[in-house]
Amino acid sequence: MALEEHVKLNADAAMRLRMEDRERDRIEEIIKHSAAIKEGRAIGREEGREAEKIEIARNLKAEGMPATLIQKVTGLSDADLKRL
């Protein structure tokens, strides 16, 4: 009887360890996914800021503002302004 209980307890312990390993792996995947989402949002915000700068530069250029002033206001390069 004692041997059977020992075998059962060991099996339960091994099962618990496997479950803990799976849970740890699952948590690590969630953390990686969360980090990827944050990185994607940061990239999207940066792209949005750049697009807004370009739109502002286009509008200022259309109003006849000098390129040097547009560069100061938007932070865009001379090459960026020439592409507009």
Cα separations in angstroms, 82 against 15, 32, 60? 66, 41, 13
User: What are the tens digits of pLDDT across the range 53-72?
Assistant: 999 999 999 999 999 999 99
Q: Is the pLDDT of residue 73 over 70?
A: yes
User: What are the tens digits of pLDDT across the range 14-47?
Assistant: 778 888 899 999 999 999 999 999 999 999 999 9
How many CB atoms are located within 10 Å of the residue 8 CB?
Answer: 10
Write down the pTM of the prediction: 0.62
Q: Is the pLDDT of residue 10 over 80?
A: no
Q: Is the pLDDT of residue 82 over 90?
A: no
Rounded to the nearest 5 percent, the helix, strand and coil shares of the chain are 90, 0, 10
Q: Provide the 8-state DSSP code for 75.
A: -
Cα separations in angstroms, 70 against 12, 53, 59? 70, 10, 10
